[in-house]
């Protein structure tokens, strides 16, 4: 999977005070977090033995009503995932479902890592988002995803690193 971040916002919440009932550490008690996610899926290329899909995930995290959380977070990431199932066996719908569920799961792992890295150097200390399952996306209809997915959902190919030369002394 190739992925790129479209936007990352991690803002410390002013006035946040850690709850002494929960030990400070990486994992924040998820019952106090309001989390929402939007996903998108676009078919980029379809061959007999594989299909390439663009997957997009936008995650928002903040405190639940009446509770505190250390950060307000919004992260948007997109990636390309290739699914290897044969077209001859009529598995195009299974390709789509697996691309969405697995793609969103892989992107969420990248988001967790990014948030952990940023918050480890932030005002209220490190935060590791709880693990999530995206299996319920398997039941979504393709039409409900089409508006959120754009053909541009594939990340741009990165340019090769430019060879650096040492200055002559």
- Domain residue ranges in the chain: 92-136
pLDDT above 50 (res 147)? no
pLDDT, tens only, 11-36: 999 988 877 766 556 566 677 889 99
CB 106 within 8 A of CB 81: yes
% of the chain surpassing 90 pLDDT: 47
- Show the tokens assigned to 125: 């200390």
How far is Cα 23 from Cα 145, in angstroms, rounded to an integer?
39
At 4, the pLDDT band (50, 70, 90 cuts) reads very high
How far is Cα 117 from Cα 59, in angstroms, rounded to an integer?
16
How far is Cα 63 from Cα 153, in angstroms, rounded to an integer?
29
pLDDT above 50 (res 153)? no
Bigger pLDDT: 22 vs 8 = 8
């Amino acid at each position: 999977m190739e992925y790129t971040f479209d936007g990352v916002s991690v803002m410390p919440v002013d006035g946040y005070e850690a709850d002494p009932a929960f030990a400070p550490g990486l994992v924040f008690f998820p019952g106090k977090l309001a989390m929402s996610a939007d996903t998108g899926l676009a078919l980029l290329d379809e061959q007999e033995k594989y299909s390439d899909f663009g997957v997009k995930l936008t995650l928002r995290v903040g405190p639940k009503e009446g509770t505190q959380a250390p950060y307000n977070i919004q992260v948007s990431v997109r990636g390309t995932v290739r699914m290897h199932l044969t077209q001859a066996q009529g598995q195009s719908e299974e390709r789509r479902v697996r691309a969405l569920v697995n793609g969103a799961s892989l992107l969420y792992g990248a988001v967790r890592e990014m948030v952990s890295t940023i918050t480890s150097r932030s005002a209220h200390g490190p935060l590791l988002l709880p693990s999530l399952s995206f299996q319920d996306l398997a039941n979504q209809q393709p039409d409900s995803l089409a508006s959120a997915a754009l053909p541009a959902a594939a990340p741009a190919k990165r340019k090769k690193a430019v060879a650096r030369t040492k200055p002559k002394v």
